Amino acid sequence: MQDVKSNNRHYVGILRRIGAFAYDFILLLAVLVLATALIMPFSRGAIQPGNMLLQLYLFMVSFGFYGWFWTHGGQTLGMRAWKIRVELENGENLSWSQALLRFLLALLTFGIGMLWCLWDRKDRALYDVLARTQVVRVDKGYVPPVT
């Protein structure tokens, strides 16, 4: 799939999104391992795999990872490598509440949500349509808007 250009914006297709996601997934795994290692000395063996508190903690760390990047320039490290950015439909940065909405919708619709890119004229995933966000390509010398 090629990136689509409309109204001076280059919308990002599914392949570039998957590339950025794969890069970010590796980074997120490292962050989750570190986050788990930080709490293990204080858990005294009470936190076991499958524990709801541990799952909630790791969910919050995961959202913190994506949310911080999305609200501060719209680019995770993987998105920077693939020269793409997530933004609101009007081109502004996401707020924390908008980032949370996009994150939750992405979790709930991940497989089908990503495939939605194949049919959307702006190459948006289903979670982007529902959260009113878009992923665009950024050119050389791009400076994200100040938050």
Distant-in-sequence, close-in-space partners of 75: CB < 8 Å, separation ≥ 6: 69, 84, 85, 86, 138, 144
Task: Give domain limits for the chain.
Answer: 10-137
- Angle between helix axes 96-115 and 52-71 (nearest 10 degrees) is 100
Strand 84-88, strand 133-137: pairing: antiparallel
pLDDT tens-place string over residues 26-51: 999 999 999 998 988 877 766 777 78
- CA–CA distance, 16 with 24 (Å, rounded to integer): 12
C-alpha span between 139 and 92 (Å, rounded): 17
- Residue 140, pLDDT > 90, answer no
Are 34 and 89 in contact, with CB atoms under 8 Å apart? Answer: no
